[in-house]
């Protein structure tokens, strides 16, 4: 995989460089609530601009239905990118139409343009190779060189991620190079103890990675909504908590495998429960209690790990040399149920080992809860991509950057 440093060494002054970024930032009423992904691509964009390239930045945002939708416009992201760069950023209101060509043609060396949400064109996500290829051809007409730096999208076989690199000289940007380097530390010559903390809503989203990690990790700490399927597999009442009943047999098998292989698989010993799900907009205080994990009332749901579990998990993270954390321990968006996620984040900060926050909600939680990002070894920009890499899957966007 060639890197951007090799591209810069060859010289890019005056060249049109297409940067496939991941500007898929969360928006609330058109306002960006977390600009982490924009900041993550800054080093690549700035290096190219400083070297005199005409930089064309492209990304998806959300899941529009293959047609323009103002709710998913990249304009706020383009404006924020300009603020962070300290320089104007042109914005094209289409992807490969007249506006995109005008924006790119108007660039002077060292300037940057952002084209509109790639998913406004059905060719970006099409399952039809021909349709996707035609869109990639039209994107290729905007550039001389391709730089892949949207790690959060590399597990997607989309036109701008997979097909476009084959049509242009291609290089990996700084973010992708960093992310791959980090993931190799989690899969090759891992320093031990190796502890993995997994949370989030659905256990089905994590089954494949648990399957892989049972042969690699020393300890697995389970929390979040997915924990209740494990607790159900132990025969516990889980009330109205999140539950994937159909996954109970698989989870049971994994617990048995963990025991046979000497892997500590830890589940919550106590949980914070409530009869109602909290209002995440008003964040109004709720009525809740802490109960042992085997005593969840039938009419209540678990919304966070309890204080005993927080202490237990922190102790299991304390001596870790390598930590991977993906998925919050509870409904961290509400202050009544953020303590479990906060405790795990703090445990990562306190350990002397190499710590990786695996993107998605975990990364959002770190920032929402006020932690210093520099206190962690690495905060990934791609939760799904990170998980699929750890599962041992081939990621289309990385394969496309290989020579």
Return contacts of 200-205, CB within 8 angstroms, 24+ apart: 200/224, 200/225, 200/226, 200/326, 200/327, 200/328, 200/360, 200/361, 201/225, 201/226, 201/242, 202/226, 202/242, 202/244, 203/229, 203/230, 203/244, 203/247, 203/251, 204/244, 204/247, 205/387
Edge-to-edge order in the sheet of strand 264-266: 264-266, 219-222, 194-198, 322-326, 354-357, 378-379
What residue ranges of the chain have pLDDT lower than 50? none
Q: Cα–Cα distances in Å, from 171 out to 197, 351, 396?
A: 33, 35, 14
Catalytic residue among 2, 46, 167, 202: 202
Count of CB atoms within 10 A of residue 166's CB?
A: 12
On whether 61 is known to bind a ligand per the annotation, the reply is yes
Element (H, E) at 176: helix 174-187
Question: What token pair was written down for 106?
Answer: 């108007």
191-391 topology per CATH: Rossmann fold (3.40.50)
What is the pLDDT, as a whole number, of residue 139? 98
Give CA–CA dist 223/212, Å, rounded. 18
On whether 361 is known to bind a ligand per the annotation, the reply is yes
Which numeric CATH code is attached to 4-177?
3.40.50.1260
On whether 352 is known to bind a ligand per the annotation, the reply is no
308 is catalytic: no
Per-residue model confidence as pLDDT tens digits over 197-237:
999 998 998 999 999 999 899 999 999 999 999 999 999 99
Per-residue model confidence as pLDDT tens digits over 119-142:
999 999 999 999 999 999 999 999
Catalytic residue among 15, 16, 20, 37: 37
What are the residues whose beta carbons fall under 8 Å from the beta carbon of 100, sequence distance 6 or more?
A: 92, 94, 115, 116, 142
383 is catalytic: no
On whether 302 is known to bind a ligand per the annotation, the reply is yes
On whether 360 is known to bind a ligand per the annotation, the reply is yes
What are the residues whose beta carbons fall under 8 Å from the beta carbon of 10, sequence distance 6 or more?
A: none
DSSP 8-state secondary structure symbol assigned to residue 155: T
On whether 216 is known to bind a ligand per the annotation, the reply is no
On whether 223 is known to bind a ligand per the annotation, the reply is no
What is the pLDDT, as a whole number, of residue 383? 83
CA 403 to chain centre: 26
Q: Which residue has the tokens 């802490």?
A: 290
On whether 24 is known to bind a ligand per the annotation, the reply is yes
- Compute the residue count for the chain: 403
Q: Cα–Cα distances in Å, from 235 out to 232, 329, 381?
A: 5, 21, 37
Catalytic residue among 224, 353, 382, 384: 384
DSSP 8-state secondary structure symbol assigned to residue 394: P
Element (H, E) at 177: helix 174-187
On whether 84 is known to bind a ligand per the annotation, the reply is no
The alpha carbon dihedral of 230, 235, 241, 246 has a sign of positive
On whether 359 is known to bind a ligand per the annotation, the reply is yes
What are the residues whose beta carbons fall under 8 Å from the beta carbon of 69, sequence distance 6 or more?
A: 120
Cβ 112 vs Cβ 57: under 8 Å: yes
Percent of the chain residues past pLDDT 90, beyond the cut = 90
On whether 367 is known to bind a ligand per the annotation, the reply is no
202 is catalytic: yes
Cβ 169 vs Cβ 146: under 8 Å: yes
Q: Cα–Cα distances in Å, from 193 out to 132, 218, 352, 354, 359?
A: 44, 6, 12, 11, 22
Residue ranges, CATH 3.40.50.1260, the chain: 4-177, 191-391
Catalytic residue among 152, 330, 360, 383: 360
On whether 30 is known to bind a ligand per the annotation, the reply is no
Nearest to 356 by CA among 373, 375, 376: 376
Q: Cα–Cα distances in Å, from 291 out to 231, 269, 327, 339?
A: 13, 9, 22, 15
Edge-to-edge order in the sheet of strand 301-305: 289-292, 270-274, 301-305
Give CA–CA dist 267/241, Å, rounded. 15
235 is catalytic: no
Give CA–CA dist 64/375, Å, rounded. 35
Burial class (CB in 10 A: 0-12, 13-18, 19+), 220: buried
Cβ 356 vs Cβ 182: under 8 Å: yes
Cβ 165 vs Cβ 394: under 8 Å: no
On whether 121 is known to bind a ligand per the annotation, the reply is no
């Amino acid at each position: 995989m060639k890197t951007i440093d090799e591209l810069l060494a060859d010289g890019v002054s005056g060249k049109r460089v297409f940067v496939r970024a991941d500007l898929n930032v969360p928006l609330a009423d058109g306002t960006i609530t977390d600009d982490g992904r924009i900041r993550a691509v800054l080093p690549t964009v700035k290096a190219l601009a400083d070297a005199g390239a005409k930089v064309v930045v492209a990304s998806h945002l959300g899941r529009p239905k293959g047609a323009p939708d103002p709710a998913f416009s990249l304009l706020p992201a383009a404006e924020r990118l300009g603020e962070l760069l300290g320089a104007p950023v042109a914005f094209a209101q289409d992807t490969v139409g007249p506006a995109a060509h005008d924006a790119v043609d108007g660039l002077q060396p060292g300037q940057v343009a952002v084209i509109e949400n790639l998913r406004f064109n059905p060719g970006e996500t099409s399952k039809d190779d021909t349709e996707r290829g035609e869109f990639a051809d039209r994107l290729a007409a905007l550039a001389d060189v391709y730089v892949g730096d949207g790690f959060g999208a590399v597990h997607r076989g989309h036109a701008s991620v997979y097909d476009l690199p084959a049509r242009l000289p291609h290089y990996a940007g700084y973010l992708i190079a960093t992310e791959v380097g980090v993931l190799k530390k989690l899969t090759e010559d891992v320093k031990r103890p190796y502890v993995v903390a997994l949370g989030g809503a659905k256990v089905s989203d994590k089954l494949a990675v648990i399957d892989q990690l049972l042969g690699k990790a020393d300890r697995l700490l389970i929390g979040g909504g997915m924990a209740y399927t494990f607790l159900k597999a132990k025969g516990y009442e889980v009330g109205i908590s999140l539950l994937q009943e159909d996954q109970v047999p698989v989870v049971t098998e994994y617990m048995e495998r963990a025991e046979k292989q000497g892997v500590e698989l830890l589940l919550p010993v106590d949980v914070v429960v409530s009869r109602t799900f909290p209002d995440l907009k008003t964040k109004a205080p709720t009525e809740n209690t802490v109960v042992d994990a085997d005593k969840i009332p039938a009419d209540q749901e678990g919304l966070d790990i309890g204080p005993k579990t927080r202490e237990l998990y922190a102790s299991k993270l304390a001596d870790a040399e390598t930590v991977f954390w993906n998925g919050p321990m509870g409904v961290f968006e509400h202050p009544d149920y953020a303590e479990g996620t906060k405790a795990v984040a703090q445990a990562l900060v306190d350990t002397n080992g190499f710590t990786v926050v695996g993107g998605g909600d975990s990364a959002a939680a770190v920032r929402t809860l006020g932690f210093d990002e520099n206190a962690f070894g690495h905060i990934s920009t791609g939760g799904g991509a990170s998980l699929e890499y750890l599962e041992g899957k081939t990621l289309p966007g990385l394969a496309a950057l290989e020579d």
